[in-house]
Amino acid sequence: MSEFSILPGLKDPAALKNLTSEELEILSGEIREYIIETVNKNGGHMASNLGVVELTIALHRSFNSPFDKIVWDVGHQCYTHKLLTGRYREFKTLRQTGGMSGFPKREESVHDIMDTGHASTSVSAALGVLVGEHLSNSKSRAIAVIGDGSLTGGQALEALNYAGHLRKNLIIILNDNNMSIGTNVGAMSSYMSRLTSTEYYLHMRNFIDRAVSIIPFFGKSILKSIYRLKRGAKGIIFKENLFTDLGFKYIGPINGHNIERMEKVFETVKDLREPVVIHVQTKKGKGLTVAEDDPSGFHGVSPVPEKKEKDSSASDNIKLTDAYGIALVEAAEKDKAIVAITAAMTKGTGLHEFSIKYPDRFFDVGITEPHAVTYSAGLAITGKKPFVSIYSTFMQRAVDQVIHDIAIPSLPVTIVMDRAGLVPGDGETHQGLYDISLFKNVPGMTFLSPVTLSEMKYAIDLARETKGPFMIRYSKEQCFPEVDSLKQPFVTGRGVFLRENHDAKEKILIISLGSLLSEAEKCADLLIEREIYADIYNMRYIAPVDIDYLFEIVGNYNLTVFVEDGVKTGGLGEQLAAKMFENDKHFHFRYFGTPDKFLGQATRKELIVQCGLDGESLMKRIIEIKRSYRFKEVVKQVRNDSWR
Ligand SMILES: Cc1ncc(C[n+]2csc(CCOP(=O)(O)OP(=O)(O)O)c2C)c(N)n1
């Protein structure tokens, strides 16, 4: 680790206020260096964090955190904030198990106002905090820092609407880098580009910036004139400014890499009595040329060793995300009705190739998951076959849209949930553990969990032939190897045996749902070492389940263990157990999933072990059940004998 002169000594943001402008420049450089080193080593959000170094310094110099509440939208850009709020040492452990979170976390620091990870919540949260503080007669200020991408999310717009109505002194910093993860999309984005790029307006902006810089500390009357001047400028070009029309004061665009200028503006708005939007322009990836040139590629960065591993991997060992991308492109070639939709996650959901090959049939609708789902319902009404790709965790946003707009009218929309199950690195907010419990009981839903490229292709073919709502879920994992048993076509409601040994004396079955199949396989291998044989059945279907067929299978075994990559309570295993109970099927059946608690950051492997779902834990659990089963059998036998 490099030797830094200023950063390690900063234990509290208040100390920032004593630094000279030369020292602030050195500090910015040290922060960037530390972020680059750490993110390369541990993985994390590179470009977004490099873009807000000066903005964060200016905020912490102007406001008094934690008395003043700074709320970061998404929170993926909070690294400088963490470094300036006493977490210099901990930063080395960024995203590691038991280490510092890559997102704001209340339990980590009083400076972290919200636990975040999902977009577009900051304005609502900051407004709530502000009103709450006022009710307690506190003079705390509330500042929401939101990116131009996150501003496209419906919740942010709902909050702007209400904040404009309340007219409290909420401060919104609009961090505009003209990017979401990829290029930002939508009318809002073009609107902001117009705000920042019109020649005349740029001229006016330069004039105002200059005016601001020569006034040492401009008073309210001068500020008022600046507003008037700016409104005048906008009046000529735009007639109306969205923010001013919603009831906000608007200042901007200002250079988000000039600490002094930002501070002057922040100092002035501090005591305003109405809501204000400060439009700050930043460069995503600032200070790291490769990230500046490819901000999208450097949005989320994998640790360097993982990259090497990935490069050396064989092409048949692809991730399920890539399998989906390949399978959808293939399906789209033969089926012109297929259209693909993503909510700002083109690359993350494997749709990059589709977007290049079929630009007219591809829609990145911005960070707007509920809209993405209902928009797809509209497309389906016209005979299109929409495939909407959204991470499992972000689909939590669109539960009502699935039920109300797709399932009730029984529209053929396929929701494809990537990053389902245990998700590494990002912690509680990014786990994909609830989709099975949220959606499996939606009437008419077909819900599949493919584990190989060939299963993915079957799933997509089935989806495009199905007339009603459809869901596909898979993890961030590699595909399971293409073994013959998994190449069998799909039969409604049924799975397939990965391993079946008819000669075993004592019959044990492991039913696996999703990517835990590889752990089921390890478990069976470990059991063999102990001379216990277990068959493995890949469930494939979450809904519908051919329950009579499943009963028939389970009836052949002395013990069946069901394993799912999702929360146990409300999961499929629990539902199957209930069905057995209802039908007086006294099978010896156990089901395992993730526990009823939020799971923090760790590698996927570590998370699997934590939940007792790895091969070895499963093996131990099965042996334990067998033991207690024998014991119970003996007790039952004794009781029966004594009753006779
Ligand atoms: C509801 C939701 N959908 C998707 C994401 C994934 N995501 C994380 S950051 C990001 C882009 C945010 O863009 P912006 O707010 O402009 O911030 P920038 O990274 O450009 O600084 C996206 C889409 C998310 N965090 N939450």
> What was the pLDDT predicted at 240?
57
Q: Domain end: 261, 277, 301, which one?
A: 301
CA-nearest of 131, 143, 238 to 190 is 238
Q: At 30, which CATH number?
A: 3.40.50.970
Ligand 1: distance of its center to the CA of 341 in Å? 16
Q: Check pLDDT > 50 for residue 575.
A: yes
Whether residues 361 and 388 share a domain: the answer is yes
By the 10 Å C-beta count (0-12 exposed, 13-18 middle, 19+ buried), 45 is classed as: buried
> What is the pLDDT, as a whole number, of residue 636?
57
pLDDT averaged over every residue in the chain: 91
Quote the ligand 1 centre to 78 CA distance (angstroms): 13
In the structure encoding, which two tokens stand for residue 488, read together?
């069998």
- CA dist., res. 264 & res. 561, Å (int): 64
pLDDT at 181 (0 to 100): 83
Looking only at the bridges linking them, the beta strands covering 534-538 and 44-45 are unpaired
Count structural domains, the chain.
Answer: 3
pLDDT at res. 214: 58
The larger pLDDT score, comparing residue 413 to residue 208, is at 413
Q: How, if at all, do strands 534-538 and 496-499 pair?
A: antiparallel
Cis peptide before 66 (omega within 30 of 0): yes
Unique residue bearing structure tokens 């006294």: 586
How many CB atoms are located within 10 Å of the residue 397 CB? 23
CA of residue 77 to ligand 1 center, whole Å: 10
pLDDT of residue 642: 46
Ligand 1 near 376 CB (within 6 A): no
Ligand 1 near 52 CB (within 6 A): no
Helix axes 199-214, 187-197, angle to 10 degrees: 60
Mean pLDDT of 193-221: 59
User: How sure is the predictor about 548, in pLDDT bands with cuts at 50, 70 and 90?
Assistant: very high
Considering the domain architecture, whether residues 153 and 207 belong to the same structural domain is answered as: yes
The mean pLDDT value for 367-395 works out to: 98
Per-residue pLDDT band for 241 (boundaries 50, 70, 90) equals confident
Any domain includes 488: no
435 C-beta closer than 6 A to ligand 1: no
Reported confidence tier of residue 238, pLDDT bands at 50, 70, 90: very low
Question: Does 59 share its domain with 108?
Answer: yes
Indicate whether 479 belongs to any domain: no
Amino acid at 586: H
Strand order, beta sheet including 142-147: 69-72, 142-147, 171-176, 276-281, 249-255
- Does residue 165 belong to any structural domain of this protein? yes
Please give the DSSP secondary-structure letter assigned to residue 534.
Answer: E
The CATH number of the domain where 511 resides is what? 3.40.50.920
Q: Are strands 446-448 and 541-543 parallel, antiparallel or unpaired?
A: antiparallel
Q: How confident is the model at residue 204 (pLDDT cuts 50, 70, 90)?
A: low
- On whether the CB atoms of residues 42 and 96 are closer than 8 A, the answer is yes
Structure confidence at residue 314 (pLDDT): 43
Q: Are residues 286 and 172 in the same domain?
A: yes
Q: Does 281 share its domain with 325?
A: no
Of the three residues 250, 266, 301, the one that is the final residue of a domain is 301
Range of the domain at 255: 7-301
Taking CB atoms within 8 Å and a gap of at least 24, the contacts of 572-578 are: 572/436, 572/440, 572/513, 572/539, 572/542, 572/545, 575/440, 575/441, 576/545, 576/547, 576/550
Examine the pLDDT at 200 and tell me if it is beyond 80.
no
In this prediction, residue 202 has a pLDDT band, given cuts at 50, 70 and 90, of low
Residue 577 has pLDDT above 80, yes or no: yes
User: Quick check: 403 pLDDT over 90?
Assistant: yes
The per-residue pLDDT for 180 is: 84
Give yes or no for residue 101 CB within 6 A of ligand 1.
Answer: no
Residues 436 and 520 in one domain: no
Q: Between 631 and 287, where is the model more confident?
A: 287
CA distances 584 to 425, 580, 581, Å, are: 43, 6, 5
Q: Is 239 exposed, middle or buried (0-12, 13-18, 19+ CB in 10 A)?
A: exposed
Which of 114, 281, 301, 367, when mutated, tests ligand 1's pocket best, judged by the most ligand atoms within 8 Å of its CB? 367
Q: What percent of the chain has pLDDT over 70?
A: 89
Q: Binning pLDDT at 50, 70 and 90, where does residue 183 land?
A: confident
Give distance in angstroms: CA of 589 to centre of ligand 1: 42
* Residue 445 in domain: yes
The pLDDT value recorded for residue 573 is 98
Give the separation between CA 557 and CA 112, rounded to whole angstroms: 52
Q: Is residue 440 domain-shared with residue 468, that is, in the same domain?
A: yes
pLDDT at 247: 94
pLDDT band at 415 (very low <50, low <70, confident <90, very high): very high
The answer to whether 447 and 541 have CB atoms below 8 angstroms apart is yes
- d(C-alpha 158, C-alpha 174), whole Å: 16
Q: Which residues are catalytic?
A: 284, 369, 397
Nearest to 226 by CA among 207, 244, 243: 207
Whose CA is closest to atom 22 on ligand 1?
181
From ligand 1's centre to the CA of 74, what distance in Å?
6
Instruction: Assess whether 127 and 169 both reside in one domain.
Output: yes
- Is residue 436 one of the residues assigned to a domain? yes
Shared domain for 110 and 246, answered yes or no, is: yes
Point out the least confidently predicted range of 218-227, 289-298, 585-594: 218-227
pLDDT tens digits, 446-478 = 999 999 999 999 999 999 999 999 999 999 999
Residue 405 located in a structural domain: yes
Residue 254 falls within a domain, yes or no?
A: yes
In this predicted structure, what is the pLDDT of residue 340?
98
Give the tens place of pLDDT for each residue, 64-84: 999 999 999 999 999 999 999
Q: Is 79 in the pocket of ligand 1 (CB under 6 A)?
A: no
Confidence of residue 313 (pLDDT cuts 50, 70, 90): very low
Which of 46, 48, 52, 74 maximizes ligand 1 atoms within 8 Å of its Cβ, making it the mutation to test the pocket? 74
Q: What's the pLDDT at 597?
A: 97
- Boundary (domain end) residue, out of 275, 301, 327: 301
Instruction: Please indicate whether residue 295 or residue 203 has the higher confidence score (pLDDT).
Output: 295
**pLDDT at residue number 44:** 97
Give percent of the chain with pLDDT exceeding 90: 82
> Cis omega before residue 253 (within 30°)?
yes
Query: Is 77's C-beta closer than 6 angstroms to any atom of ligand 1?
Result: yes
- Candidates 580, 442, 605, 429; CA nearest to 511 is 580
Does 289 lie in the same domain as 332? Answer: no
Domain membership of residue 232 (yes or no) is: yes
Ranges 193-207, 345-359, 474-488: which has the least confidence: 193-207
Cα separation values, 337 from 350, 399, 405, 464, Å = 19, 25, 20, 9
Q: pLDDT tens digits, residue range 519-543?
A: 999 999 999 999 999 999 999 999 9
The pLDDT of residue 104 is 98
Does residue 469 have a cis bond before it (omega within 30 degrees)? no
pLDDT, position 246? 93
User: What confidence score (pLDDT) does residue 237 get?
Assistant: 37
Contact (Cβ atoms closer than 8 angstroms) between residue 349 and residue 371: no
- Ligand 1 atom closest to residue 184's alpha carbon, by position in its atom list: 16
pLDDT at residue 117 in the model: 98
- CA 434 vs CA 118, 414, 572: distances in Å: 15, 18, 11
Same domain, 143 and 171: yes
pLDDT in the model for residue 351: 98
187 and 117, same domain (yes or no): yes
Ligand 1 atom showing the smallest separation from residue 147 Cα: 15
pLDDT at residue 289 is higher than 90: yes
Q: What is the DSSP letter of 505?
A: S
174 or 216: whose pLDDT is higher? 174
User: For residues 529-549, b (16+ Cβ closer than 10 Å) or e, as one string?
Assistant: eeebbbbbbbbbbbbebebee
CA distance 346 to 422: 21
